[in-house]
Amino acid sequence: MTADILTTRSLHKEFGGLLAVDHVDFTIPRDSTVSLIGPNGAGKTTFFNMLTGVYKPTSGQVEFDGEDITGRPPHAITERGIGRTFQNIRLFQQMSALENVLVGMHARLRGGIFASVVRTPRIRREEEQARVTARELLAYCGLAGRGEVYARNLPYGDQRRLEVARALATQPKLLLLDEPTAGMNPQETLDFIGFVHRLREDRGLTVLLIEHDMRVVMGVSDRVTVLDYGARIAEGPPSEVQRDPRVVEAYLGTRAVASG
């Protein structure tokens, strides 16, 4: 078992002539919470999408849990243990909260087409067990009793929570959260920081976070990586990164530029 659950080697992505991610080397140690920050357009989400198989890297390598997963399809990567949420909520709007979580369990259930039609005792047990687990997950994410509500009818904060519940249902070893607190009010954000801590303690999850809210980043991360124009410009504990002149420059611009 490797010490780093995820390693990227010189991961690179270009869209036509546009450089999105520039030869990034990056590691996530097991059982840690790592944040990926950077100004808008820095390539964070592209990087995320390469880890989860939505995009194929132009070059470079992604290794997860000791296995090369570069260019594998998204479902295969999810099956190996990377769960994710989306920056803009992408729930299955016309499915109930419970069904959303059940879809998340897809890779962990076995029911094939013939067994589903016949509904064999094994399938029946599996489905019942899945429903119990799904309800537990909903309760864990603060959605107890909301299982039958259609996702689109949930309030915004609950939709965010449901995205996490759905991602947890894939039984990930590594959870990728793409701006999970976007649009949350300060109290919800605070609750969310507590929730990420609980995830680590209860479930032994490794978490990779894309985040803009510095309180969240400082509150939960063991380590912060900063991207700017697709390249990694800084890495280290939150307190150090915060003071790094290159990071300040990337976010605020240099004094010369700002004044001139």
Partner 1 sequence: MARSTSRLPWGRVHPIVRRAALALLIAGVLLGLAWSGKFQRSTEVYTLVAAVLVLFLAKYAYTGLWFGLERVGVRNARGRWQARSPFLQRAVPPVVISGVVILVAWAAGLAPDLSLIVLLLITYVLYLLPSRWRGFAVPATVLALVVAYPFFIQQTNYQRFLFNLPVFNTFPSMDTMVSMIIFAMMAIGLNMVVGYAGLLDLGYVAFYAIGAYTAAWLASPHFAAYGISFDFGSVAEPAILRVGGIHLSIWLVLITAGLLTALVGVIIGLPTLRLRGDYLAIVTLGFGEILPQVARNGDKDGLGFNLTNGPPGINPIDPPGFGNWLSSHAGLPASYLSEQGVYVNFLTLMFWTALGLLLITVFCSVRLRDSRLGRAWIAIREDETAAAAMGIPLMRTKTWAYASGAFFGGIAGAWFASIKTGVFPDDFFFNISVLILCMVILGGMGNVWGVVAGAAFLEYLNLEGIANFNGWMNDHVFVCDPSKQDPSSVISGGCLNAPLVTFGIYGVIIVLVMLLRPQGLFPEQRRKLEFETGVHDTPIQDETA
- The residue ranges that bind partner 1 (CB under 8 A) are 52-54, 73-76, 78-79, 84, 86, 90-95, 99, 102-104, 106-109, 111-113, 116-117, 119, 123, 127, 139, 144-146, 148-150, 152-156, 166, 169-170
What b/e readout covers 16-41, taking b as 16+ CB neighbours within 10 angstroms? eeebbbbbbebbbeeebbbbbbbbee
Distance (Å, whole) CA 217 – CA 237: 10
Nearer to partner 1 by C-beta: 156 or 251?
156
Q: How far is the CB of 29 from partner 1 (least distance, A)?
A: 24
Q: Given strand 33-37, what is the order of strands in its sheet?
A: 82-84, 174-178, 206-210, 33-37, 223-228, 231-236
Q: Which residue, 171 or 242, has its beta carbon nearer to partner 1?
A: 171
- Report, in Å, the least distance between residue 19 CB and partner 1: 23
Residue 51 has φ and ψ, to the nearest 5°, of: -65, -35
State the nearest-atom distance from the C-beta of 150 to partner 1, in Å. 6
How far apart CA 91 and CA 40 sit, in angstroms, is: 24
Query: Shortest approach of partner 1 to residue 149 CB, angstroms?
Result: 5
Closest CA to 13 of 44, 59, 51, 49: 59
- Look at residues 38, 43, 49, 37 and name the one whose alpha carbon lies nearest to residue 20: 43
Provide φ and ψ at 251, rounded to 5°: -80, -40
| Cβ nearer to partner 1, comparing 112 with 253 | 112
Question: Closest CB to partner 1 among 183 and 238?
Answer: 183
Nearest-approach distance from CB 188 to partner 1, in angstroms: 16
Pick 8 or 78: Cβ nearer partner 1: 78
Which is closer to partner 1, CB of 91 or CB of 210?
91
- In the complex, what is the shortest distance from the CB of residue 167 to partner 1, in angstroms, rounded to a whole number? 8
Q: Cα 172 from chain centroid?
A: 10
* Smallest separation, CB 154 to partner 1 (Å): 7
Which residues are CB-contacts of 104 (< 8 A; sequence separation ≥ 6)?
Answer: 83, 165, 166, 167, 168, 169, 170
* Residue 170 · residue 108 · CB < 8 Å: yes
- How many other C-beta atoms are found inside a 10 Å radius of the C-beta of residue 75? 12
Is 79 or 244 the residue whose CB approaches partner 1 more closely? Answer: 79
